[in-house]
């Protein structure tokens, strides 16, 4: 399974690595839809333990084939973070989140790739085509003294196209869909689950990639 290690800060990368070991050692897959290979796949209204809207995930997965499989690891409000993978055949999409104190400046974080933003949230698009967003989450119950929520996403369709072209660009297939999925995941996690102060100001629409860096 591909994990978006490069799209997270050091705290997030450590979390993702730990989650990967958990997935390899004890992960359990289950189908959240049922379909035959010739049938159109029905994407559920909510995914990832009903925490994230499913409407933006459809363009990142095949439209026909086997059922959608979902696996979450550490996807609880009391843990340090978690991951949710959605898979159809050999194609998948992944969202990883972590929360904690962010010591790096906005400039340093965005210098890791092509700068990206969603309102006041900021992050970057990595060279592999993964997206990371850092969202203010200070003094938010039940997180307590955690002040940043980091949401990272990956999609195999984007990564394969980036590797074919050598780098991500405006025409990379699937990138706009990944930008929309990232924004939806960020809004749903920050507003509805972690209830980060000010998260209601995160705008509608996809993550903005600032190509003119």
Rounded to the nearest 5 degrees, what angle is found at the Cα of 118, between the Cα atoms of 114 and 119?
125
Residue 104: domain span: 5-209
Alpha-helical segments (H) within 111-196: 156-165, 175-187
Across the range 130-156, mean pLDDT stands at 81
Q: Is the dihedral of CA 4, 8, 10, 16 positive or negative?
A: negative
Q: Measured between alpha carbons, how far is 83 from 103 in angstroms, rounded to an integer?
A: 22
Closest CA relative to residue 85, chosen from 2, 145, 6: 2
Closest CA relative to residue 97, chosen from 204, 192, 15: 15
Query: How many domains does one find in the chain?
Result: 1
Across the range 52-80, mean pLDDT stands at 87
pLDDT at 53 over 90: yes
* The two structure tokens encoding residue 124: 């970057």
pLDDT digits (tens, 9 = 90+) for 87-136: 998 999 999 999 888 788 899 999 999 999 999 999 999 999 999 999 99
pLDDT at 140 over 90: no
146 versus 24: the higher-pLDDT residue is: 146
């Amino acid at each position: 399974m591909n994990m978006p290690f490069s799209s997270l800060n050091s705290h997030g990368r450590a979390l993702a690595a730990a989650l990967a070991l958990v997935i390899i050692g004890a992960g359990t897959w289950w189908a959240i839809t049922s379909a035959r290979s010739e049938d159109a796949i029905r994407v559920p209204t909510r995914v990832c333990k009903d925490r994230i809207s499913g409407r933006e995930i459809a363009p990142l997965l095949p439209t026909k084939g086997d059922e959608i499989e979902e696996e979450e690891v550490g996807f609880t409000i009391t843990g340090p973070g978690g991951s949710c993978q959605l898979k159809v055949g050999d194609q998948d999409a992944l969202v990883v989140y972590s929360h904690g104190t962010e010591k790096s400046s906005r400039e340093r974080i965005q210098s890791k790739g092509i700068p990206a933003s969603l309102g006041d949230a900021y992050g970057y698009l990595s060279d592999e085509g993964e997206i990371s967003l850092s969202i203010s989450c200070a003094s938010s119950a039940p997180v307590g003294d955690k002040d940043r929520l980091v949401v990272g996403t990956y999609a195999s369709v984007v990564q394969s196209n980036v590797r074919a072209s050598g780098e991500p660009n405006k025409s990379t297939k699937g990138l706009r869909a990944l930008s929309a999925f990232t924004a939806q995941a960020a809004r749903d996690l920050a507003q509805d689950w972690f209830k980060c102060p000010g998260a209601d100001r995160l705008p509608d629409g996809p993550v903005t990639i600032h190509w003119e860096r």
